[in-house]
Chains A and B, each alone.
Chain A
Amino acid sequence: MAETLFDIAAERLEEGTEMDRLEARGTLRLALKEAGLDVQNLSIPQLQAVFEKLMPRELEARGVADAAATCKAVMKEIANAASTTELKASNSPDEIFKRLGGS
C-alpha cells in the first residue's frame, strides 16, 4: 500500500525525536485535528503550516528539546521525501469555495 503524506511525516517525526511510532503518530494526529485537517487528504503546504504553527507547541509539551528546529528539520525531509506523493487539491471543497466567490 502506498505511503501517505501522514505516514511519511510521522516516520520523519519519529526519526527526528525520541518519540516512539505510536507517540509520533498520535502527536501528529492531534495537531492535524486541531488544524481541522483530514489525515487522508493532506498536502505539503498544509503539513508545512501544521509544523510551523502547531507542532512546536505540541513537541514542547512532550519534552522535545528545541522543538522549533526539530519541526523545521522534519519539514525539510518531508518536502524531499514526499514530492511525488502530494495529492491534487484543485477540487478540494476549499478550492471550489474559493473559485465560487471569485477569490
Chain B
Amino acid sequence: MAEDAYIASIAAGAFFLIASVRLIRLHRRTRERPELLLGLFFALSAVYYLGFNAPSLFRFGEWPAQIELVVEWAYVLGVLPYLLFIRLVFRPNAAWASWSVGTCSALLLLSTLMLTAGGTVEYSLADPWFCFQWAGYTAPCLWLAWEAMLYRQNVTKRARIGLCPPIVANRYLLIGLFGIFQVLACLADLSIANEIGNKMTVSLFTDALLGGAEIASVAVLWLAFFPPLFYTRWITRRAVILPTPMDG
C-alpha cells in the first residue's frame, strides 16, 4: 500500500485539513468543546492521511522509521478526541459511554504501543496487536454511525413540527453515512493487512473499496460542513413541515 499513491486518500487528507481549520476557528469563536474535539480528530487524521501518502505522491521512497511512527501515532491520538466527541454529543450523561471511551482509548494506546515497540509499523493480521488496534479505531466509526442514525429518527420528527431546520436534520444522516463509509475504509485496512501479510500486492477490490469509501466520506462531509446553496434549498424544499392548526 505504501508504494501506491491513493488519490482518494490524499483528497480525504486535504479535506480533513480544511475541515479541521474551520472547526478549530469555530471553537475559537464559540469556546464550545464539540467543535474542538472534532477539529482535533480531523487535523490529526489529515497528518496521517497526507503523511502516509506523501512518499508515493512526491516519489521519495519511504519515510524514515521515526517519521512513520509519528504519522501512525497521529492517527491513533486523533481517535481519542473523536471518541470524546461522540460521547459528549450523543451520550453526555451515560456511564457506559464513559466506560466505552476509556476502554477503547486504552485498547488503542496499548495496541499501538506494542505494535510500534520495535521501532517500525507492521501491518499483519497474524499480529494480535494489529487486530486490537484495528478494533480500537473501527469501533468509534461504528458508534458514530449508530448514534447519528438513531438520532436521525427523532430529529426527522422534530423537523416536521418546525423544531429543527431540515438541513440540520439532514446533517445527522450525512454524519451517519460518514461513519458507515469510515467503517468500510477500516474493512479495506483489514484486507490490506491480509494481502501484505501474505506477501501479495494489494488487490483491485481493496483499492476500489478504500478509494470509494474515502471519496464518499469526503462527499458527505462536504455536504455536512460546507453545504452548497443548491443542496440546502433542495433539502428545505423536500421537507414536510406540519401547519399550525391554531393559525388556521
Contacts and interface: CB of A to CB of B under 8 A. Distances in A.
A60 to B, nearest CB: 9
B245 A53 contact: yes
Interface string A65-103: 000100110000000000000000011011011111111
B228 to A, nearest CB: 11
B224 A53 contact: no
Interface stretch (A2-10, A12-20, A21-29, A44-52): A44-52
Interface of B: 23, 26, 30, 32, 34-35, 38, 88-90, 92, 151, 153-158, 160-165, 167-168, 171-172, 175, 224-227, 232, 242-246
26 contacts: A34-B157, A35-B160, A37-B154, A37-B158, A45-B163, A49-B162, A49-B163, A52-B161, A53-B162, A53-B242, A53-B243, A53-B245, A56-B246, A91-B92, A93-B155, A94-B158, A94-B163, A94-B168, A96-B34, A96-B89, A97-B168, A99-B30, A99-B34, A100-B26, A100-B224, A102-B225
Interface residues of A, number: 29
A103 B172 CA distance: 14
A68 B245 contact: yes
Contact of B165 (A34, A38, A49, A103): A103
